[in-house]
């Protein structure tokens, strides 16, 4: 890890000052959290896997015209990204009922939604990331009307692309979380995709068995977290050697076994 000035440390990543103005180094940790960090643990190698998966997804999204903060991967745990002004919203795109929407609305988990649903949550761990409406967003000026139109359009396009990408490897994209930020050119600003896309913020189920291949294995004490993350990377072709036969930065994480350290009791249902 580069010895640079630390800017911020979150639950899954550390941000460092980048080598050039307007850049950030994003370091992926092995820490795992759930229920707004009430539950904590470690999944060995998670940061390495998430770095590669997020690089892969962001690169493919850029190819279809989605503007992102990703510049390039630096090493096994770090990415160089553009510095953005994060919009304080978590944008959740749902295709199948799971997690909080099942609990809130009494919908059986696994039920296909009539159409893709976009939900907005205020990005605030202190408040428990509350569900909010577009009226709240407009009232408190968290994003303007044009920005919300761009966010919704990008979220739908990302969902369409990722649903097909995962379906091709027999994975159902149940839901996922996105974050967006602003970049500036003088007085003009535009919205781009930020943060990461990985099994940490996507629900991914095997199409045939329904097996969960994401952080729900940690949330629900199912075990096999490390193997599930590896399986997603394997199906995406990210655990193989370089085409020239050299090892490169091979993610042979099967040499490790998952060692999950719980530091708080399981929250009551």
Which tens digit of pLDDT belongs to each residue from 82-118? Answer: 999 999 999 999 999 999 999 999 999 999 999 999 9
How much is the mean pLDDT over the chain?
89
125: left (phi over 0), alpha (psi -120 to 50) or beta: alpha
> 């907005």: which residue's tokens?
120
Of 269, 218, 227, 267, residue with least CA distance to 11: 218
Establish if 166 belongs to a structural domain.
Answer: yes
Phi-psi category of 186—alpha, beta or left, where left has phi over 0 and alpha has psi -120 to 50?
A: left
pLDDT at 256 over 80: no
Confidence of residue 152 (pLDDT cuts 50, 70, 90): very high
Residue 16 predicted with pLDDT over 60 = yes
Q: Provide the whole-model pTM.
A: 0.87
In a domain, 241, yes or no: no
| CA geometry: angle 240, 24, 192, nearest 5 deg | 85
Q: What is the spatial distance between Cα 116 and Cα 47, in angstroms, rounded to a whole number?
A: 29
Distance of CA 186 to the CA centre of its chain: 30
How many angstroms separate the Cα of 197 from the Cα of each of 25, 162, 185, 208? 16, 10, 26, 23
Range of the domain at 196: 87-206
Q: Is residue 15 part of a domain?
A: no
Q: What is the structure's pLDDT at 166?
A: 98
Phi-psi bin for 179: left (phi > 0), alpha (psi -120 to 50), beta? beta
pLDDT class of 37 with cuts at 50, 70, 90: low
SS3 of 210-226: the string is: CCECCCHHHHCCCCCHH
* Predicted local distance difference test score (pLDDT) of residue 171: 98
Q: What is the pLDDT of residue 35?
A: 76
In a domain, 135, yes or no: yes
Band the pLDDT of 248: cuts 50, 70, 90. Answer: very low
Provide the pLDDT for residue 265: 42
The mean per-residue pLDDT over the stretch 155-182 comes to 98
Q: Look at 142-151, 180-189, 215-224, 253-262 and tell me which has the smallest mean pLDDT.
A: 253-262
- Number of structural domains in the chain: 1
For residue 259, the model assigns a pLDDT of 35
171-230 tens-digit pLDDT: 999 999 999 999 998 889 999 999 999 999 999 999 999 999 999 999 999 999 999 999
pLDDT at 187 (0 to 100): 86
Percent of the chain whose pLDDT exceeds 70: 87
Distance, CA of 80 to CA of 206 (rounded, Å): 31
CATH for 148? 3.30.470.20
Asked, for residue 5, whether it belongs to a domain, the answer is no
- Nearest to residue 175, comparing CAs of 106, 108, 233, 119? 119
What are the start-end ranges of the H helices in the chain?
46-63, 100-105, 134-139, 145-167, 216-219, 225-235
Residue 48 lies in a domain: no
Is 150 within a domain? Answer: yes
**What CA–CA distance (Å, rounded) separates 25 from 41?**
24
Specify the higher pLDDT residue, 239 or 223.
Answer: 223
- Could you give the CA distance from residue 204 to residue 214 in angstroms, rounded to a whole number? 6
In-domain check, residue 8: no
User: Residue 146 above 70 pLDDT?
Assistant: yes
For the chain, the first-to-last Cα distance in angstroms comes to 39
pLDDT at res. 46: 96
What does DSSP assign to residue 124?
A: -
């Amino acid at each position: 890890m580069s010895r640079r000035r630390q800017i911020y440390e979150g639950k899954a990543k550390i941000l460092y000052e980048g080598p050039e103005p307007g850049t950030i180094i994003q370091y992926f940790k092995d820490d795992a959290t759930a229920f707004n960090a009430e539950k904590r643990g470690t999944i060995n190698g998670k940061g390495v896997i998430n770095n590669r998966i997020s690089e892969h997804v962001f690169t493919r999204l850029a190819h279809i015209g989605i503007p992102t903060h990703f510049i390039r991967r630096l090493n096994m745990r770090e990415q160089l990204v553009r510095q953005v002004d994060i919009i304080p919203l978590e944008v959740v795109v749902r295709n199948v009922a799971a997690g909080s929407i099942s609990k809130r609305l009494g919908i059986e988990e696994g039920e296909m939604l009539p159409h893709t649903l976009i939900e907005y949550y205020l990005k605030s761990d202190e408040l428990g990331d509350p569900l909010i409406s577009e009226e709240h967003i407009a009232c408190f000026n968290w994003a303007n009307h044009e920005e919300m139109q761009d966010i919704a359009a990008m979220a739908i396009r990302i969902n369409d692309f990722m649903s097909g990408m995962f379906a091709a490897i027999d994975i159902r994209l149940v839901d996922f979380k996105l974050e967006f930020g602003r970049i500036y050119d003088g007085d003009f600003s535009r919205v781009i995709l930020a943060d990461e896309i990985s099994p940490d913020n996507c629900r991914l189920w095997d199409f045939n068995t329904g097996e969960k291949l994401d952080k729900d294995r940690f949330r629900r004490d199912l075990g096999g977290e490390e193997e599930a993350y590896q399986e997603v990377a394997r199906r995406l072709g990210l655990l193989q050697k370089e085409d020239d036969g050299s090892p490169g930065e091979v993610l042979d994480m099967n040499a490790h076994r998952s060692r999950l350290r719980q530091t708080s009791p399981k929250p009551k249902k």
